[in-house]
Structure 1
Amino acid sequence: MIYPAYIHKDKRSAWGATLPDFPGCFAAADALDDLPAAVQEAVEVYFEGEAMDVPAPTAPDALPRGKAYTGGQWLLVDIDVARVNPRAVRLNVSLPENLVQRIDAYARTHGATRSGFLAEAARRAMADNERAA
């Protein structure tokens, strides 16, 4: 789906994107060309573990205005909402006990949960595979 993103760049800073359809969701990238991918990632993280519906995009003629939206410009970004799934699915997997203990310890020291760690590890493995293909 095509969503509006308000983009801006201050001197000596990365490109920033504010996403009015996802309150509190922001993205940043050093290069403008990298901003759409950063927006996709930010939206996926925004919904991770949350039980909320994906909103419809704001129409261009209804975009917010005001002080918060000066000095930048609007960009329409294609967000793959199929990759956004806020509803968690419970599943049963079997892993060696020592591996589970190591996963739990790693997740705990990095402020994550076991499920969050495993989901992120799976995402990274699949992204690495896609890049290699």
Structure 2
Amino acid sequence: MTYYVGILDGADDVWGVRIPDVPGCVGGGSTPDEAIADVIIALRDVMAHKRGGGFEVPLPSPLSAILASGEVEAGETTVIVPLALDSGRTVRANLTMDAGLLEAIDEAAALRGVARSAFVASAAREKIEAQ
């Protein structure tokens, strides 16, 4: 997985995150956590658009380069933003888990009207992006 450096700033109930390596890629929210969650989605959407449109996908800079660039101002902090892009192809995976957990997964997937695989993939993506 690829990780980009984001810069978090804000106060009270107005927070934002920008990604220096991807101009225009920003997220916002009323808390730092909301702003980070928003920029994760924004980064995925921007990069999927770039990849799909044949545009150059910028590589992430190391944290040390971002810090040395002077991009981070007083009162701001850096955060790590994961990028999990779909590759456009599916693969079969054999997973082993407790039978009770599998039943719970199947019930939850049925309630949402999705297949087991889609449910597990969605849950995994949410867990990865919550890091």
The alignment's TM-score, normalised by the length of structure 2, stands at: 0.53
Deviations 1:22-50 (A, max 9, x none): 01111112232233331121113324264
Q: How large is the RMSD of aligned CA atoms in angstroms?
A: 3.0
Which residue does the alignment assign to 2:73? 69
3-state SS of the aligned residue for 1:71? coil
Q: How does 1:1-133 map to 2 (within 5 A)?
A: 1-13=2-14, 15-47=15-47, 48=49, 50-63=53-66, 64-66=69-71, 69-80=73-84, 82-83=85-86, 130=122
Deviations 1:60-119 (A, max 9, x none): 1100315x6332101112121x2488xxxxxxxxxxxxxxxxxxxxxxxxxxxxxxxxxx
Mapped to 2, the partners of 1:40 and 1:16 lie a distance apart of 12
Shift of the alpha carbon at 1:16? 0.4
Say if 1:9 and 1:77 are closer, same or farther in 2 by CA, change over 3 A. same
Say if 1:53 and 1:29 are closer, same or farther in 2 by CA, change over 3 A. same
Structure 1 runs not aligned, ≥5 long? 86-124
Seq. identity, %: 22
Which residue does the alignment assign to 1:118? none
Which residue does the alignment assign to 1:117? none
Amino acid at match of 2:70: R
Say if 1:50 and 1:28 are closer, same or farther in 2 by CA, change over 3 A. farther
Say if 1:36 and 1:52 are closer, same or farther in 2 by CA, change over 3 A. same
Amino acid at match of 1:76: I
Structure 2 runs not aligned, ≥5 long? 89-112, 124-131
Mapped to 2, the partners of 1:31 and 1:83 lie a distance apart of 28
Amino acid at match of 1:41: I
3-state SS of the aligned residue for 1:5? strand
